[in-house]
Structure 1
Amino acid sequence: MQEEVLTMSYEGLVQEPIDVKHISVSYQSKIALEDISLSIEPGKITGIIGPNGAGKSTFLKSVIGLIKTDSGSVSIAGESIDVIRKQIAYVEQRSAIDLTFPIKVEETVMLGTYPKLGLFRRPKKEDKQKVQESLEKVKMENFSKRQIGNLSGGQLQRVFIARALAQDADIIFLDEPFVGIDMVSEKLIVELLQELRDEGKTIVIVHHDLHKTKEYFDNLIILNKKLIASGPVSTTFTTSTIQKAYGETMGEIVIKGVND
């Protein structure tokens, strides 16, 4: 009975906004993020954009508690985000992965089931079935026995998405998932993320290609160490906010889909 109440509580919490209040982060006395406050809307795809060194990945990691903050808090419906830790999936940058580690595709995806399994419980038949279904969704079922070091960039990113699917997470954070991957993989991943959004999942993506902003995202967070703008793409993705974030060096460059 207690577990049922907790499950219902999770279901309610993940449908609430993630509130970020006064987050600041510094590395060796250099400011990486300064006093960021915003809300991440549930059931939407939110993009995080800004120039190199703007603190995009740092912001993502600070929200989910992967790095220490100097100040601030992250909560959901007044509760620490830690209470829904198992419902959050994180897809790191491909460059952060040790591709020499001898692990197969299916084993990598199986890692997604561990938050719910616990450390000492072996995967059951339904867990293995979930892995298979997740690989099928990203069209990687024929690569299940292959070592991850033998995959292309796009294939590898699809495996990481499958791992998040196997976790059954309600909130998915992705750090530059489209860097260095082929267009087929990018299209497949975007369509899959949009399907997950339509099912009520919350998706947050660090992204670098401004030309795809309007096509990919519902909401936008624009950073350059400080918060430049946050909200629907229709109101945040403007020439003035982009120039404020990226500087006057952008000049009169025309960005596809910019709202003015």
Structure 2
Amino acid sequence: MSTSVHSETNPKRSADRPEAARAAVVVDRLSAGYPGVRALEEVSLTVAPSSICALLGANGSGKSTLFRALLGLHRPTSGGVRLFGLDPARARRRNQVSYVPQHEQVDTSFPVSVEQVVMMGRYGHMGLTRRPRPSDRHACDQALEEVGLSQLRRRGIGELSGGQRKRAFLARAIAQQAPLMLLDEPFAGVDRGSEELIIKVLKSLRDTAGTTVLVSTHHLAGVEDLADEVVLLHQRVLASGSPAEVLTEDQLGRSFGAVLRETP
């Protein structure tokens, strides 16, 4: 993976570079925000296929806004994104991207089982009747096995702990079998055991299925073990490279210290 921040000395657009044609994700000079808020400014980065990239930054650094732009849920003020060379809407229609949100709204009174939630990841593979075929059931079984929830498949989703619930929604994304997976704060509110299992599963997806994984997080623990590359974000790309290059006291202070300085 390579990243870049636009400057006058580097005017060539990231979308025009040769590696961009082979990239899983290209973010090109992206600026985005909300009324009165500038969330992202001139962000450019490229994520290589079959890699794990950690998007690291404190709360308020723009990570969720970038994810929304990648999913086509937020229109940027300038710049753009491409997923495997496609715009986000087309990539989603072609089942090129799956998404594990930070917070999933769950009606605990609604009788939906863990297995039914995971099967939702197969909807894009089913016909209009959404009747599971043997291949859909097999994908669901495999996903439940990978996240360690096979024994809880009949349990109601609302009965799970926070870590178990996060693993169930990860299983839904695994069952979708998209080549790109986005995870927004997957380690927030989970126990250490679930965190270690999630890291193991994501690395297995990269190594065995060639899945590209982009993880948004503000938790430093586990990033060095998980990620091939780290992008440090605070409205702009402040640093990028290997975990050893980015996870230094000086580099982290630039991102997390920026938020502290802006907080009254």
Relative to the length of structure 1, the TM-score reads 0.84
CA contact (8 A) 1:14 1:42 kept: no
Q: 1:14 to 1:134 in 2, by over 3 A?
A: farther
The answer on 1:151 being equivalent to 2:157 is no
The alpha-carbon deviation at position 120 of structure 1 amounts to 3.3
The residue type equivalent to 2:151 in the other structure is: N
The aligned counterpart of 1:46 is 53
Three-state SS of the structure 1 residue aligned to 2:58 is: coil
CA distance in 1, matches of 2:63, 2:124: 26
The aligned counterpart of 1:31 is 38
The alpha-carbon deviation at position 170 of structure 1 amounts to 1.1
Q: 1:248 to 1:57 in 2, by over 3 A?
A: closer
CA contact (8 A) 1:25 1:34 kept: yes
CA contact (8 A) 1:15 1:43 kept: no
Relative to the length of structure 2, the TM-score reads 0.82
CA deviation digits over 1:185-209, x for unaligned, max 9? 1111111111111121101111122
CA deviation digits over 1:152-185, x for unaligned, max 9? 0111111111111111111111011111111111
CA distance in 1, matches of 2:37, 2:130: 43
CA distance in 2, matches of 1:69, 1:134: 34
Q: How many residues align?
A: 238
CA distance in 2, matches of 1:242, 1:56: 15
The answer on 1:246 being equivalent to 2:253 is no
Fraction of identical pairs, as percent: 37
The answer on 1:220 being equivalent to 2:227 is no
The answer on 1:21 being equivalent to 2:31 is no
The alpha-carbon deviation at position 77 of structure 1 amounts to 5.6
The aligned counterpart of 2:190 is 181
The aligned counterpart of 1:4 is none
The aligned counterpart of 1:232 is 242
Alignment of 1:1-260 (within 5 A): 16-76=23-83, 78-85=85-92, 86-93=95-102, 95-100=103-108, 101-199=110-208, 200-247=210-257
CA contact (8 A) 1:105 1:146 kept: yes
The residue type equivalent to 1:231 in the other structure is: G
Q: Which runs of 5+ in 1 are unaligned?
A: 1-12, 251-260
CA distance in 2, matches of 1:215, 1:36: 25
The alpha-carbon deviation at position 212 of structure 1 amounts to 2.5
Q: 1:77 to 1:123 in 2, by over 3 A?
A: closer
CA distance in 1, matches of 2:258, 2:66: 24
Three-state SS of the structure 1 residue aligned to 2:222 is: helix
Q: 1:183 to 1:211 in 2, by over 3 A?
A: closer
Runs of 4 or more consecutive aligned structure 1 residues displaced over 4 Å after TM superposition: none
RMSD: 2.3
CA distance in 2, matches of 1:121, 1:14: 34
CA contact (8 A) 1:219 1:232 kept: yes
Three-state SS of the structure 2 residue aligned to 1:211 is: coil
The residue type equivalent to 1:71 in the other structure is: S
